[in-house]
Amino acid sequence: MRLKVLGGTGAWPDAGQACSGYLVEHAGFRLLLDPGYATAPQLLRWVRPEQVDAVYVTHGHPDHCADLNPLLRARALRDDPPPALPLYAPHGALDVVLALDRPGMLDAAYHRHDFEPGDSLTIGPFEARTWLLPHSKPNAGVRLEADGVVLAFTGDTGPSPHLKELAQDADVLIADSSYVDEVPEDERGTLFTAREAGRLATEAGVRRLVLAHVMPETDVMAALQAASAGFAGLIEVASIGLEVTVDAAAR
Ligand SMILES: [Zn+2]
């Protein structure tokens, strides 16, 4: 399994940056996780629009799904449009982004598979387990497994007992690390810190940790330091172009 990071910034894309977005490839299948703001141009550096086989969206905030619109346009507005793109997202999460264009314009470009967080899904070669995690919109954290290799992705979340289950023994955990040490009071319980991500990685026996959704202007070294206080394994910060092999070699 291969992971390509399309962006790592939380909330909005800072200069030259992109928000959440990950391309996961296994057995020739390409799954796009969370096409957030400004991730489409990054995605298209790696693959053509028709080469994406499915999309999974954790929740309906635009920093996790806004660039679904340009991806669908790039598929629909061509002379030979590819088959409808399967979209997996919590019920209703994509209603707004799919309504950006005039009614009907993109209808043939996608096929919705709305689900209830907690459902298990089969997406190409991936078995996906999902959990409802605490956030200001329903957020479906996901654990992807294929041929015994596990990639876990929290989406945006506050602390939750489900996180340990989601991340248990994962080869790679992509964890919300919006803040370094402390979540501001008005968002407490709905977002996570790098320090908490490090602790979670140890509790769950994760092999490799990727800090994600880091707020613009965050001191990245401080985030790494906070996470490493609780986790002795390899830690990276999600950033454009980071490539990670997710397999037994990461153990
Ligand atoms: Zn969010």
- What domains can be seen in the chain, in order of their start residue? 2-244 (3.60.15.10)
Minimal CA–CA distance to 130: which of 158, 152, 146, 149? Answer: 152
Q: Report the separation in Å between the CA atom of 136 and the middle of ligand 1, taken as the mean of its atom positions.
A: 7
Residues of the chain with pLDDT under 50: 250
**Residue closest to 39 by CA, chosen among 59, 78, 66, 72:** 66
Distance in Å, CA 135 to ligand 1 centroid: 7
* Nearest to 124, CA basis, from 50, 35, 26: 26
Residues in the chain, overall count = 251
Give the Å distances, CA to CA, from 59 to 34, 45, 117. 8, 25, 10
Phi, psi torsion values for 107, nearest 5 degrees: -55, -40
CA of 31 to the centre of ligand 1 (A): 20
C-alpha of residue 14 to centroid of ligand 1, in Å? 16
Centre of ligand 1 from the C-alpha of residue 80, in Å: 35
Name which of 243, 248, 249, 180 is nearest 213 in CA terms: 180
User: Which 8-state DSSP code applies to residue 214?
Assistant: B
Alpha helices in 160-229 (DSSP H): 162-167, 194-203, 220-228
Strand 208-212's sheet: what is its strand order? 120-123, 126-133, 139-146, 149-153, 172-176, 208-212, 234-237
Q: If you measure from the C-alpha of residue 191 to the centroid of ligand 1, how many angstroms do you get, rounded to a whole number? A: 8
Q: What is the pLDDT of residue 83?
A: 97
Distance 26 CA to ligand 1 centre (A): 27
Distance CA 121, CA 246 (A): 20
Take residue 49 and report the two structure tokens written for it. Answer: 């629009």
Q: What is the pLDDT of residue 247?
A: 85
For 177, 199, 200, 219, the CA distances from 223, given in Å and listed in that order, are: 8, 13, 15, 6
**Which is it for the CA torsion 172, 30, 92, 213, positive or negative?**
positive
- 249 Cα–ligand 1 center, Å: 32
Instruction: Give 159 Cα–ligand 1 centroid separation in angstroms.
Output: 14
Å from CA of 21 to ligand 1 middle: 13
The closest of 39, 47, 33 to 13, measured between CA atoms, is: 39
Ligand 1: centre distance to CA 61 (Å): 5
Strands 139-146 and 126-133: antiparallel
For the whole model, what pTM was predicted?
A: 0.97
CA of 137 to the centre of ligand 1 (A): 7
Q: Is 82 in contact with 56 (CB distance < 8 Å)?
A: no
Distance 45 CA to ligand 1 centre (A): 25
CA of 19 to the centre of ligand 1 (A): 11
Spacing, Cα 30 to ligand 1 middle (Å): 23
Instruction: Give tens-digit pLDDT for 2-41.
Output: 999 999 999 999 999 999 999 999 999 999 999 999 999 9
Q: Which amino acid is at 29?
A: F
Instruction: For strands 234-237 and 126-133, give the pairing.
Output: unpaired
Cα 188 to middle of ligand 1, angstroms: 13
Model pLDDT, residue 249 = 57
